A and B are shown apart, each in its own frame.
Chain A
């Protein structure tokens, strides 16, 4: 699928075709000849102040998506967990030029709204509007990024909203489990290991704190603007120059990679009366810049990361223990984890865990059949095409490559690297990266039901349960 100057074709299965023209052949008709797929062609720009921009003209639908990604997230807030979040919320309360309602009206007239989202590594100011309005949207995003009002008058309300959001988030079993898992693998001293603040801590932040944070962390060097969809390229380039050309370079990107924990833990959190146990079983693996990462993605899809995967087929389609099990590779800058996540019937918590571990062990013990692996590789190739066939997805893919500093040929060679994975390699990766004795287990569930079950698992010791 695709590349800048070359085009690839989709890897396809050869299926036997039966006589064409029969009413209903007994076997699925074979696919037609694979179609050519070209990767969208990005235009990359760098301004004198270090700001970068990537433009992708894509599709015929008259809409455009613009995202300004600033490498300023909770990582940069350090011990002040969610100060980046508070800053992001306050950035939506108007600019030095326009009040909050005016900003909302301006964005609505362009056919959308501007939102600010904050995660561990970045703050993203984004909008999605009618095609002809791209330059105006870029101007509005620039205004919010560079000159937010961060009004003291709105701080109390915004803090209240965040306190409510925090409380509601932490009432979710899945959020509790993810927090416990992150805390163990990344350590509570690193922002990656501390996804939530205490209520007292959050309540202590002021608009002044947000202003200090904004001043210290926003600037051209840390910023990358993505534009994808239909737009007038000359007008967009002109807007980028005029809106961001005189932005101060600001601070360099902060690199602060956590010391990850390689030892296992068993974390049990009580949720009395819960009809399901929310489980995470996982560990730290290599990050996206490692050459094993794409092969690990293949292994993950086969093991638990797709509907047809082994763990899903087992605990859902065979046993009926759960509805939406999945394994995933989850990454931040220079770190990643692999984990299986599932909400399973309380009574079958240990049964589910035993099956998950059995599937991991089976993959280590024997390479998957070539046909099964080929099917997964085809699936991943198809998903890659989809991921490059929609303006929002295109930006996601580019952001991923940029965040992790992946080489320019990353996208061009992705499919080849997927295709090159062998059954033996999948088995080797499982053995190397998923050692059973270092898997961390988190269970959020009704512990009086769950604990006696766990005692029956041979990889759980008595001390794990105390």
Chain B
């Protein structure tokens, strides 16, 4: 059972709104940097940067963060997660880092990302932006910018497709019957 939560148009408008929110909350984009969590967080970050450039006529730096080394579930998995690359080519010291991910679920991914960012540098502030907040937090993590709140049950899966890597831009809610751990 597959329900469309957001279609391509919806996604475009949401990204538009989120980009405006970032600029508004930070009263501009001075010292703002975007860090997307691999994989889809990265594509989101680039799209938002593009939109911000349209709005403010300024280029905001974009970095990619792979949190595999910081996962709290590295051991005890049957398969080892593939290690991807972190690319943050600018100094994050003193910056406002907008951490970007597609789905916020238990909050463990964000916890890992926070630890990774702290090991890379000392930002002035970290703000969290997520496209979808599906509830069921297991850690005290809260997003500053939310694209859409989608209440879910554990048996459901939120599937985000982005045309950079999937067939289309769309977000689906899928009923599974088995608990999917989203990381």
A in complex with B: no
List residues of A whose CB falls within 8 A of some B CB.
none
- B: residues with CB less than 8 A from A are none
